Structure 1
């Protein structure tokens, strides 16, 4: 079993340890330095673009920009329409709330008048219960036959 955790092919470790070696030991790591420059800007021929490539990249950029701006306009329009719909829904809910309040007040006053009428008639609640039971029974008979 090997005592080293690192592979012998790990040249990056060799480059790090070459700082502490003699001139003869630095001969091998120099071959790796030629294959890979220290800076991405070290090789000026790698960034030599011709005019057609630059114009192609520029046209792609313009296409993407116009596509993104069209999508942004559509998104803004969608947001505006959603806002209009939300405002309309809030108005409808407000109107529904006021209509329900009006209906509640109307039912409350009707129930109050009905209770006043029932008290002033002199007929007991048991008699009203029997009357409503008979009416319900008649409706049931008409519905069945």
Structure 2
């Protein structure tokens, strides 16, 4: 029975050739032979500068995040103001349309009463208004 890795031996050789230069020195990252080997100890000065750079990077990230959160908060506030304005505008439009509906209804009722008093039916008044509209439309087109 053959191993499933036996056919890939040539690929391993290609990978080692990839990371080695012409004189046999490897170009890849330097790694320890065992994961249990202790890493090289840094001096306290190097360690302090490394921690300082990490802290400054962290502060920069916090500042940028704070700016982004502030921008989102401002956007939310502006959206709330616009929503409140549109709700008020919608309420005003509803009131205006209700008033217009009542006015049109009263006008129509008064026109019906007027046509009954004059002895001419409402149909004839509509025909007269339609003829006047057609005349104005014809003049407007030409």
Q: What TM-score comes out, normalization by structure 1 length?
A: 0.64
Give the Cα–Cα distance (whole angstroms) in 2 for the partners of residues 126 and 141 of structure 1: 23
Deviation of the 1:44 alpha carbon: 4.5
Give the Cα–Cα distance (whole angstroms) in 2 for the partners of residues 129 and 102 of structure 1: 24
Q: Does 1:96 align with 2:93?
A: yes
Flag the structure with more relative contact order, 1 or 2, with Cα contacts below 8 A and sequence separation at least 6: 1
Alpha-carbon RMSD across the aligned residues, in angstroms, is 2.9
Q: Report what 1:35 is aligned to.
A: 33
Q: How does 1:36-115 map to 2 (within 5 A)?
A: 36-37=34-35, 43-45=38-40, 50-115=47-112
Give unmatched runs, 5+ long, in structure 2. Answer: 10-31
Q: 1:4 to 1:95 in 2, by over 3 A?
A: same
Give unmatched runs, 5+ long, in structure 1. Answer: 10-33
Deviation of the 1:35 alpha carbon: 1.9
The list of structure 1 runs, each at least 4 consecutive aligned residues, that deviate by more than 6 angstroms after superposition, is none
Partner-residue secondary structure (3-state), 1:35: coil
Aligned length: 117
Mean Cα displacement is larger for which, 121-130 or 108-117? 121-130
